[in-house]
Structure 1
Amino acid sequence: MTTKNETKSQTDESVIAPVLTRAAEAETTADPSSVMTLLADSGTTGGALTSYRSTFAKGAVGAPAHFHTRASEMFYVIGGSLEVLVNEELTVLEAGDFLLVPPHTPHAFAAAPGAEADVLFVFTPGMARFDYLRLLGRVMRGEASPQEIKDSSELYDNHYVNSPVWQEALGRRA
């Protein structure tokens, strides 16, 4: 949001313009198990943050075990229940719960067994993630190869790890 009465030039990198994303105008990407609403990427926030909202169908898997090297990831559960792995500990987050996962911390998430989940995600500092989320949607819809996700690991700062605890948790769902 820019106004006529700005006191500093938008070319001044220390100035970050307010960002407003109207629900009706937000881009969404969907697959059979979730809808992601893209709210603000690092390019529009001056690198301050990246944020999106995901709604997961009952029991839907969100992300395999992974970590980020450059950003903290915040989870705020708007509704439902989200099962998360942090390091090797499983926890269920309920509506109103908040979780911060710092860089280099392995984590994974899914709607809790038998539950839906509605979650706000925020990365700080911001990371260009919208292209990753679009790619993820294409992979989940069968329009792109899972290898493309693996090949983009460095670009999107998603570093996948093996987690027997998470694999066991997923196995109990089957």
Structure 2
Amino acid sequence: MEAMAEALVVQPGAAAGASLADGAFELLADGGAVSASRLTLKTGADGAPPHHHKLSHEVFYMLDGTMLFRLGDTLTTVRKGGLVIIPPGLPHAFGAEDDDVADVVVVLSPGIERFEYFEQLGAISRGEAKFESLVPEQDRYDVHFEDMPDWRSAPA
């Protein structure tokens, strides 16, 4: 008889966390079929530098607030209850709107262990590390950085 896989249950307060200068991050699941996290951003805070994934789809479900997404050359605002699915290869960036906070669940599939990436992003956001420290790790975390210095403005 084949052994059954076990379900993953993460109770409130049991997730690993990383503090950000402008928010908080909880890693709910890391690697395997999915990586899942909850990201809370203060008003106008950026969520991650512009990037794309070669392997993973990225799914955002808005629990509360409003986020601005740059999806390729398109800017889109998504409010509480909204869903965004980003396919591999699509350059994107995201952050809380200038006049609102954001509380979002983010799922990547397939999952790639990224907790150390998020810890490093937190250190960068707090001025404790340089962004350049992540550049050699792009393949390891399937986060490939894009040159979009002003991602909140749509290209002409």
**Normalising by structure 2, what TM-score?**
0.92
Cα distance in 1 for residues equivalent to 2:121 and 2:51: 14
Q: Does 1:20 align with 2:9?
A: yes
Moved more, 147-156 or 102-111: 147-156
> 1:164 offset after TM fit, Å?
6.3
Aligned counterpart, 1:93: 78
State the secondary structure of the residue aligned to 1:168: coil
Moved more, 156-165 or 33-42: 156-165
Residue 151 of structure 1, aligned match among 124, 136, 142: 136
How far does the alpha carbon of each residue in 1:121-147 deviate from its partner, in whole angstroms, 9 at most, with x for none? 000011111111111111212222211
Unpaired runs of at least 5, structure 2:
none
Q: Which has the higher strand share?
A: 2
Judged with a 3 Å threshold, the aligned counterparts in structure 2 of structure 1 residues 106 and 58 are, in CA distance, closer, same or farther, namely same
Cα distance in 1 for residues equivalent to 2:135 and 2:12: 31
Aligned counterpart, 2:148: 163
State the secondary structure of the residue aligned to 1:152: helix
> 1:8 offset after TM fit, Å?
4.2
State the secondary structure of the residue aligned to 1:110: strand
Moved more, 109-118 or 157-166: 157-166
Alignment of 1:88-167 (within 5 A): 88-163=73-148, 166=151
Following superposition, which runs of at least 4 residues in structure 1 exceed 4 angstroms of deviation? none
Number of aligned residue pairs: 154
State the secondary structure of the residue aligned to 1:25: coil
Equivalent pair of 1:35/1:55 in contact (CA under 8 Å):
yes
State the secondary structure of the residue aligned to 2:151: helix
**What RMSD, in angstroms, separates the aligned Cα atoms of the two structures?**
1.6
Give the number of the structure whose alpha-carbon radius of gyration is greater: 1
The percentage of counterpart residues that share the same residue type is 33
State the secondary structure of the residue aligned to 1:121: strand
Cα distance in 2 for residues equivalent to 1:164 and 1:89: 15
Higher relative contact order (CA 8 A, sep 6+): 2
**Normalising by structure 1, what TM-score?**
0.83
> 1:103 offset after TM fit, Å?
0.2
